[in-house]
C-alpha cells in the first residue's frame, strides 16, 4: 500500500472514530437536563456530565486533528469500555447487547490508534 493511501485511510479512520463522540458531546450540551437525568437514573452522578462532554467533544476533536492522538485514543477507549459496562450491560435487551458490542469495537479501534499512531496526516506528525 502506498504512503498516500495509507495516510488517507488513517485520516478517514480518525474522522469516523471521532465523529460519534463529537456529535454525542454536542447533543449532550443541547439536551443537558435529559442526559443528566438519564445518567442519574443509571446510578452515575449528574455532576459528572461536564466531564463527559469534555471527554467526548474535546477528545473527539483532538483525535480528529491528530493532536495527542494516542493519548486521546487511549482515554476514549477507556471511556467506551466504561460506558459499555455502565449503560449497556442489560444483555436481556438485544439492543443493549448490540450497543455493548459497538462500544467494544470502538474501543478496539482506539487501541489500534494507540498501537500504530494517527498517521502522517496529523498534528502529531507535523
Show me where the domains of the chain are located: 3-121
**Mean per-residue pLDDT for 73-91?**
97
> What's the grid cell of residue 48?
459528572
Reported as a single tens digit per residue, the pLDDT across 26-75 is 999 999 999 999 999 999 999 999 999 999 999 999 999 999 999 999 99
pTM: 0.95
Separation between Cα atoms, residue 79 and residue 48, nearest integer Å: 13
Dihedral sign computed on CA atoms, order 5, 10, 12, 13: positive
Amino acid at each position: 500500500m502506498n504512503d498516500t493511501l495509507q495516510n488517507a485511510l488513517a485520516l478517514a479512520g480518525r474522522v469516523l472514530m471521532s465523529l460519534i463522540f463529537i456529535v454525542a458531546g454536542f447533543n449532550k450540551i443541547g439536551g443537558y437536563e435529559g442526559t443528566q437525568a438519564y445518567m442519574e437514573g443509571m446510578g452515575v452522578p449528574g455532576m459528572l456530565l461536564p466531564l463527559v462532554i469534555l471527554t467526548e467533544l474535546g477528545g473527539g476533536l483532538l483525535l480528529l486533528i491528530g493532536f495527542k492522538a494516542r493519548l486521546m485514543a487511549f482515554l476514549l477507549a477507556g471511556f467506551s469500555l466504561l460506558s459499555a459496562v455502565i449503560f449497556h450491560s442489560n444483555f436481556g435487551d438485544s439492543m443493549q447487547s448490540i450497543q455493548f458490542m459497538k462500544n467494544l469495537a470502538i474501543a478496539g479501534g482506539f487501541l489500534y490508534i494507540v498501537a500504530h499512531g494517527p498517521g502522517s496526516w496529523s498534528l502529531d506528525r507535523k
